Chain A
Amino acid sequence: MMRWLAEARNLEASGSVGIFAFLFAVYIVLKGGHYSLFEAGNLATNVLPLVLVGLAQYFVVLVRGVDLSLGPIMSVSGSLAVVLFPFGVAPAIAAVLAAGLIAGCLNGLLIARFKLSPIVVTLATMSVWDGVALVVLPVPGGEVPAGLQAALTSGSTLLPTSLALLVASGLFGLWVMTTRFGLQLRAIGGDEAAAEASGIIVMELRLRAYGLAGLLAALAGVYFAISTMAGSPIVGDGYILPSIGAVVLGGVPLVGGRGSPIGVVMGALILTIVGSLLYFADLSDFYQSLIDGVILIAAVGSVAVRDWVWKAMGR
């Protein structure tokens, strides 16, 4: 428990918490000052796939990688889920998670074992998973048991299930980072040679990071399919940039080794709230991708600006 607190108290996520709190306050003011638990549940339902795929990206970024194929893995898992649901919910979800794990491990194998560049490998596997999703489900559709959607999104009025799942995802991320596995991932990202010298089998750990990422991306895809009541073979393409965006906005540096999973959750929430704010600004949907891109660039670029300011101030 103390380690959990230590991990949560880690100030790495404080900036993104502040930005989210500010944007959320603006949002509530624009809405007229009221916010119900039901709305919070809806927000959680909308943000959960991004949180999950963002956490997936986080574990890969921790070991100095990047995975552009996580979006397409979401497409595969969502498509596979709706095709398999008629055979039973539990076996379907188990099969989909296994597929995600295998997909992630394949990336990990190529990157960790054969030392291929993460960008090039995952661009290529992106094409493969996009293709698999199209083969599994040529057109969007499929069936999701209605009860499942109700149970996993709004749920009881006391506490929407999706909100509970959102909190659980954040706690899961924190928990992983308190384990030996999480610490080793941090060590690899911090200094690979030192990690290797201290007895960490870098290759195996890196493979497991990509495997975990594939698993989480599959979970994101299944949840998206359940919450929208349909599978889509192209849904994941829209998550490639935001998954990295959530990580970056969460204050996680791409050079690896640092950053908190809570920051990633906040990053996902920030991107989603910005989307809602666009609605109030009465801007067309065309602005969404433009603003996503600008936010991503600005978030990383602001670090350089801050350094210049500090330098100018003589710090």
Chain B
Amino acid sequence: MSETTRPPRVERRRMLLEFDSASAAPLTGLVSIALMLVVCNLLAPGFVSFNNIMHIAQLAAFLGIVAIGETLVVLSGGIDLSVAWTMTGAGCVFTQVSQGQSSMLLPALAAALASGLCAGLLNGVGVAKFRISPIIMTLGMNNVMQGATLLYTNGTPSGSVAEAGRFFATGYIGPLSVLVLLWSGLAIIVMGVLRASRGGRQLLGVGENPLVSFLSGVRNDRVLIVVYALSGLAAALAGVLYASHSGASFLGMGDQFVLPSIAAVVIGGGSIYGGRGGYGGAIIGAIFLTVLTTLLAIVNVSAGVRDIIYGGVIIAALLLTRLTQGAAS
């Protein structure tokens, strides 16, 4: 295939001019981010500075890391609604095992990630082997993790994060946030794997058409189990980092990430029906939603009004994506 001749010049120009919705969605996202930053700067003069942008990127990293798992799951044609309590559970395990001692950081990290991996594996087995619909499986798992977390913490999470652990969530190397560097590294790995590895292609195949994928020799159920396990792992990592950022864990800390993690993927141009999209769009989606949150904080509206605007903007973004896709096809 690599030997194919380049398309003739006219054809190339047509391809350039053709309105491609998948690449247009991130572009719209970038323009909206820029516009919102301009508004922020108007409302709070001096807002747009390097430090502030880095701070926003830091906040976006938590959402971005949850969205890694959500991207993979959505690409496979599923959805993961269990990220809320997987995240909270992992955060609680992390602080409670480590108890603020730096010597316990690694065991605590391992335990926290293991809890997320377990939840994700169970999701995967339920969806792939027991044919449970992803909504039911992950919504049920969210409740299971909620109950498990309440029982484990006895209703009040305890413990804290040692300074060495907090470095990964709040520290800086020169002008760059460690968390943002970590996120960038993960993003490069995820995008590379999706684009260039066999696993990435198999994942897209399963999402696009499970039957064709199965008939061409792909073990669909294995792909699904790995994908849900990775989603649990990503949510757990986000929970650990979020707890490190706050210095402690608290019940319900993951609740605010469910809608945004899914919205980030869909706004970024991923198809909720699977097989199309990538992590690049989700990064832009995550930054877009974080800037929106910041803007709403600057405007200083009540929590209720904030929820209304937040949901409204996501609906508008969905409609926009849908309408431009309609125009393209």
- Contact string, A112-134, partner B, CB cutoff 8 A, digits 1/0? 00111101110111111011111
B24 at the interface (CB under 8 A from A): no
User: Chain A residues near B232 (CB, 8 Å)?
Assistant: none
For the residues of A in contact with B, the DSSP-based class is helix
A84 at the interface (CB under 8 A from B): no
Interface residues of B in 125-177 (CB under 8 A from A): 126, 129-133, 135-137, 139-144, 146-148, 150-151, 155
User: Chain A residues near B140 (CB, 8 Å)?
Assistant: 241, 292-294, 296-297
B129 — nearest CB in chain A belongs to which residue?
A304
Neighbour of A124 across the interface among B132, B273, B306, B315, CB < 8 A? B315
Query: Quick check: which of B29-37, B110-118, B192-200, B257-265 contacts chain A, the rest being far away?
Result: B257-265
A291 at the interface (CB under 8 A from B): yes
The number of inter-chain residue pairs (CB within 8 angstroms) is 145
Query: Quick check: which of A5-13, A146-154, A215-223, A281-289 contacts chain B, the rest being far away?
Result: A281-289
A307 — nearest CB in chain B belongs to which residue?
B131
Neighbour of A131 across the interface among B135, B136, B148, B304, CB < 8 A? B304
B314 at the interface (CB under 8 A from A): yes
User: Chain A residues near B146 (CB, 8 Å)?
Assistant: 289-290, 293
B308 at the interface (CB under 8 A from A): yes
A248 at the interface (CB under 8 A from B): yes
Neighbour of A123 across the interface among B129, B133, B137, B259, CB < 8 A? B259
Neighbour of B307 across the interface among A127, A286, A300, CB < 8 A? A127
Band of interface residues on A? 35 or more
Question: A119 to B79, Cβ gap below 8 A?
Answer: yes
B305 at the interface (CB under 8 A from A): yes
- Contact string, A247-284, partner B, CB cutoff 8 A, digits 1/0? 01000001000000000000000000000000000001
B307 — nearest CB in chain A belongs to which residue?
A131
* C-alpha spacing A124/B136, complex, angstroms: 18
Question: A131 to B311, Cβ gap below 8 A?
Answer: yes
Question: B318 to A115, Cβ gap below 8 A?
Answer: no
A307 to chain B, nearest CB (A): 8
B303 at the interface (CB under 8 A from A): yes
Question: B319 to A124, Cβ gap below 8 A?
Answer: no
Known A117-B273, A134-B303; judge A290-B308 contact (CB<8 A): no
* C-alpha spacing A286/B147, complex, angstroms: 5
B316 — nearest CB in chain A belongs to which residue?
A124
Jot down 6 A-B pairs with beta carbons below 8 A, ordered by A.
Answer: A119-B79, A121-B318, A128-B312, A286-B155, A290-B144, A292-B140
